[in-house]
Homo-oligomer: A and B are copies of this chain.
Amino acid sequence: MGRSDHRPGSQLPVTPTTLADVAERAGVSRQTVSNAVNNPDLLRPDTLERVRQTIAELGYSPNRAARNLRTRTSSLIGLRFTPAQEGTANAMMDRFVHSLVEASAEAGYHVLLFPSDDEDPVGGYDNLLRSTAVDAFVVTDTYLGNPQAAWLSQQRAPFVAFGRPWDDDEARHVWVDVDGAAGMRLATQHLIDRGHTRIAWIGWRKDSPIGEDRRSGWLSTMHANGLSTTGLASRVEDVVHSGAEAAAVLLDESEPTAFLCASDTLAMGVLHTLWIRQLAPGRDIAVVGFDDSQVAQVYPVGLTSVRQPLEDVAVEIVRSLRALLSHQPVESRGVLLEPTLAIRESS
B-contacting residues of A (Cβ < 8 Å)?
2-4, 6, 8, 11-12, 16, 59-66, 68-69, 72, 74, 76, 81-84, 86-89, 91, 93-95, 97-98, 101-102, 105, 110-115, 117, 119-123, 126-127, 129-133, 151, 154-157, 240, 244, 264-265, 268-269, 271-272, 275, 293-295, 297-301
Contact = CB atoms under 8 A, between A and B. Distances in A.
18 contacts: A4-B126, A8-B151, A11-B156, A12-B129, A60-B130, A63-B69, A65-B68, A68-B68, A86-B294, A86-B297, A97-B113, A101-B115, A102-B115, A105-B115, A264-B298, A268-B300, A271-B300, A294-B294
A155 B2 contact: no
A81 B63 contact: no
Contact of A6 (B63, B123, B265, B272): B123
Contact of A294 (B76, B84, B129, B275): B84
A110 B113 contact: yes
B126 A6 contact: yes
A130 B300 CA distance: 47
A111 B110 contact: no
Contacts of A294: 84, 86, 88-89, 91, 293-295
A82 to B, nearest CB: 8
A294 B292 CA distance: 13
Nearest to A117: B3
A114 B87 contact: no
A113 B101 contact: yes
Contacts of A120: 2-4
A320 B89 CA distance: 33
A6 B271 CA distance: 47
A109 to B, nearest CB: 10
B98 A130 contact: no
B110 A16 contact: no
Contact of A300 (B61, B114, B275): B275
Contacts of A121: 2
